[in-house]
Structure 1
Amino acid sequence: MTPIVQTNDAVTLVGGGHTSPEVIDIALYLAPILVAADSGADTALAAGHLPVAVIGDLDSISDKARAALPPSCLHLISEQDSTDFDKCLRNIKAPLILGVGFLGGRLDHELATLNVLVRRAGRPVILIGASEICFHCPPDLALTLPVGATVSLFPLSDLTAHSSGLRWPLDGIGFAPWGRSGTSNETSAPHVRISVSGAGMLVILSRDHLNEAIRALLPPTAD
């Protein structure tokens, strides 16, 4: 399937949930291609930004936003078996996606987004909220963070993990959404390493560490 948006640049994906112009600007500074998920077009336009594409079932975008955009910008995917966030991830090919407007709104929408984040685990996607970021943990994650920084882990599957550089080590702990989680851990050393046995672990960090999360998720560039 040919992607709707294909770019070598990082993409800012704007959803219709709670966000702010400040958060959108932070994302666009790092990911300059703007795509909207359905009513995320209204959010983007209200912040003064024109999306290159609007993807979704288009049942939430306002008539005002439709009128402000060229018809070629609107990409209707009418099936109702997936969320607009999932429709977007399936149709964007980019090295990184920064999602804004997907955290802090309706709880059911937020949970559905986290579900997709795990199901599309191979995609480098970071969700940016008002004060925190969230992303799916790759098999081996290396971070450089200030000592004492909060590192929260929440499992959406049954898995195990190992760590170094965390105040409370993860080794030997079984994680599951119906069992143990790893919230409110913190760094005991500047270099943190987390390895997981499979897909399903979410990492939650302060928004201050967005650049480090991007560095950790992207493959190293060739010299």
Structure 2
Amino acid sequence: MIVHENEPITLIGGAEITTQTLNRARALAPNVVAADGGADAALVNDLIPQAVIGDFDSLSDWARGQLPEDSLHPIPEQDSTDFDKCLRNIAAPLVIGIGFSGARLDHQLAAYNSLVRHPHRRCILLGREELVFLAPPELRLDLPEGCEMSLFPMGAVEGLSDGLKYPISGLNFAPDGRVGTSNHVTGPVSLSMTAPKMLVILPEAALEVAAAALLAARAGWPGA
């Protein structure tokens, strides 16, 4: 394990980020780690990441020159993305990933794939308009009535819900079958899932609620 922290971590990727997004993430997760070229964004914002992890194909020479040598952790294999390399090498109660959405759809989809491949790592991917995370076995979210909430399966999964306009009980979800997009909150939301396959998609304004809910979720998927 390259990084081991008892507090949440902000993980910065190579896609464009805003100062506002960075500040919101760091308010919840002050420790900073960068995925490859995300180190450039960290330095531009006057932050020195405690670790930089990736294959280093996008880390600039300028950034490399600003970083302590012992903070650089190259992983040269090309069978996984920089986000995946980071997620499997960070042990923390929660990772808030920024700079992993909005630039390229293929990179974004690969990041979602990593969330499912490492279900024991609790991680929120925060974009400009939405946030995405993998649902733990049980989750409670105190969201305002009318808040949009989508559930998207990355594999076969079933679940139970309270507080949603369209309950999910009795439904068989699959990426090539039933999905749960465009649902709405009617009250405090409770979810339980049969497998680590369901992505939860919320407006970016729900970051603080989502982070608190994931940190409070008692049960984790095997491997935690």
TM-score of the aligned structures, taking structure 1 as reference length: 0.94
The answer on 1:74 being equivalent to 2:72 is yes
Paired AA for residue 177 in structure 2: G
State whether residues 139 and 217 of structure 2, in contact with CA within 8 Å, keep that contact through their aligned partners in structure 1. no
The answer on 1:46 being equivalent to 2:44 is yes
Residues 220, 80 of structure 1: CA spacing in aligned structure 2 closer, same or farther, 3 A cutoff?
A: closer
Task: Tell me, in whole angstroms, the C-alpha distance in 2 between the residues paired with 1:133 and 1:122.
Answer: 18
Q: Which residue of 2 aligns with 1:96?
A: 94
Task: Tell me, in whole angstroms, the C-alpha distance in 1 between the residues paired with 2:217 and 2:126.
Answer: 22
Match of 2:22 among 21, 24, 34: 24
RMSD: 1.3
Match of 1:148 among 138, 146, 149: 146
Give the number of equivalent residue pairs: 218
Task: Tell me, in whole angstroms, the C-alpha distance in 1 between the residues paired with 2:53 and 2:135.
Answer: 26
Helix, strand or coil for the counterpart of 2:125?
Answer: strand
Helix, strand or coil for the counterpart of 1:164?
Answer: strand
Matches within 5 A, 1:94-173: 94-173=92-171
Match of 2:207 among 186, 207, 210: 210
Helix, strand or coil for the counterpart of 1:148?
Answer: coil
Shift in Å at residue 186 of structure 1?
A: 0.4
Task: Tell me, in whole angstroms, the C-alpha distance in 1 between the residues paired with 2:141 and 2:134.
Answer: 14
Shift in Å at residue 48 of structure 1?
A: 2.1
Which structure 2 residue ranges, 5 or more long, are not aligned?
219-224
Match of 2:57 among 51, 59, 76: 59
Task: Tell me, in whole angstroms, the C-alpha distance in 1 between the residues paired with 2:170 and 2:7.
Answer: 39
State whether residues 132 and 201 of structure 2, in contact with CA within 8 Å, keep that contact through their aligned partners in structure 1. yes
Task: Tell me, in whole angstroms, the C-alpha distance in 2 between the residues paired with 1:183 and 1:49.
Answer: 37
Which structure 1 residue ranges, 5 or more long, are not aligned?
none
Shift in Å at residue 96 of structure 1?
A: 1.0
Task: Tell me, in whole angstroms, the C-alpha distance in 1 between the residues paired with 2:157 and 2:8.
Answer: 30
The sequence identity of aligned pairs, in percent, is 51
The C-alpha deviation readout for 1:17-73, integer Å capped at 9, x for no partner, is 132121111111110110000000111112221111100111110111111112111
Shift in Å at residue 76 of structure 1?
A: 0.7
Shift in Å at residue 216 of structure 1?
A: 1.2
Q: Which residue of 1 aligns with 2:183?
A: 185
TM-score of the aligned structures, taking structure 2 as reference length: 0.93
Task: Tell me, in whole angstroms, the C-alpha distance in 1 between the residues paired with 2:5 and 2:157.
Answer: 34
Moved more, 41-50 or 94-103: 41-50
